[in-house]
Chains A and B, each alone.
Chain A
Amino acid sequence: DIQMTQSPSTLSAFVGDRVTITCRASQSISSWLAWYQQKPGKAPKLLIYKASYLESGVPSRFSGSGSGTEFTLTISSLQPDDFATYYCQQYNSFSWTFGQGTKVEIK
């Protein structure tokens, strides 16, 4: 199975900060990567698919980039509603796999 590694595991930031989360795949996944946001006690929410395509209804401060084995999720100006855990997921090949998550906390 393809291993997905996110960094950092935890990130502390201020409202208004630019935040970047990195996701690395153990082998090339082309652009078949999605990003999700999860808040405590809730189901994940799709933010980005195919590495850089913004899901409908997701604020434009979220963006994704990368291909091959290295990907990033960027929040251009962190808002109070953005404090959550973020997961990357590859869907290049079975079994589909997720990263371990990055928790974005208030500084």
Chain B
Amino acid sequence: QVTLKESGPALVKPTQTLTLTCTFSGFSLSTSGMRVSWLRQPPGKALEWLARIDWDDDKFYSTSLKTRLTISKDTSRNQVVLTMTNMDPVDTATYYCARLGYCKGGNCDCGGCFAYWGQGTLVTVSA
């Protein structure tokens, strides 16, 4: 059974750096084809993809946020960490981690879709 859970501060001040941890079970990020992403959703608004990390440590970032984001993994702890610098009130959102569909052999039909999600963690940016 695949599960993911986000953890981190509920409140950060403007200009601070946010660090979020995704702790997962039911799969290993050392397995070829496994990938984990972070996404966010401001209150009442649409979803936004932020970053992705692959089993081979390849990393991909949102075009608009890439200068502020860093994604990393700790395979031994089954964790993926996202840091976002220079937080602003517009970054107030629920942050989700999600596992992408598993790419095996030549089949990657769901390689870019989010098959499993954490429950999300609300981060408020306020002084």
Chain A residues in the interface with B (C-beta under 8 A): 1, 32, 34, 36, 43-46, 49-50, 53, 55, 87, 89, 91-92, 94-101
A53→B46 contact, CB < 8 A: no
- One digit per residue, 1 when the CB lies within 8 angstroms of any chain A CB and 0 when it does not, for chain B 81-120 equals 0000000000000001010010000000111111101111
Tell whether B2 is near chain A: CB-to-CB under 8 Å: no
B101→A49 contact, CB < 8 A: yes
Selecting from B8-16, B23-31, B60-68, B71-79, the interface stretch reads B60-68
Q: Say yes or no: A36-B114 contact (C-beta < 8 A), given A43-B96, A49-B101.
A: yes
A49→B110 contact, CB < 8 A: yes
Query: Can you list 16 A-B pairs with a CB-CB distance of less than 8 A?
Result: A1-B63, A32-B112, A34-B110, A34-B114, A43-B96, A43-B119, A44-B47, A44-B96, A45-B117, A46-B113, A49-B113, A55-B115, A89-B47, A89-B113, A95-B64, A99-B46
The 8 Å CB contact of B113, one of A34, A95, A99, is A34
Bound state CA distance, A92 and B109, in angstroms?
11
Q: Say yes or no: A94-B60 contact (C-beta < 8 A), given A49-B109, A87-B47.
A: yes
Number of A-B residue pairs at CB separation under 8 A: 61
A96→B112 contact, CB < 8 A: yes
Chain B residues within an 8 Å CB radius of A46: 110, 113-115
The 8 Å CB contact of A44, one of B62, B109, B117, is B117
Chain A interface, DSSP helix/strand/loop, else mixed: loop
Chain B residues within an 8 Å CB radius of A96: 49, 112
Bound state CA distance, A36 and B109, in angstroms?
16
Chain B residues in the interface with A (C-beta under 8 A): 46-49, 60-64, 96, 98, 101, 109-115, 117-120
B114→A44 contact, CB < 8 A: yes
Whole-angstrom distance between the Cβ of B72 and the nearest chain A Cβ:
19
B110→A50 contact, CB < 8 A: yes
Chain A residues within an 8 Å CB radius of B46: 87, 98-101
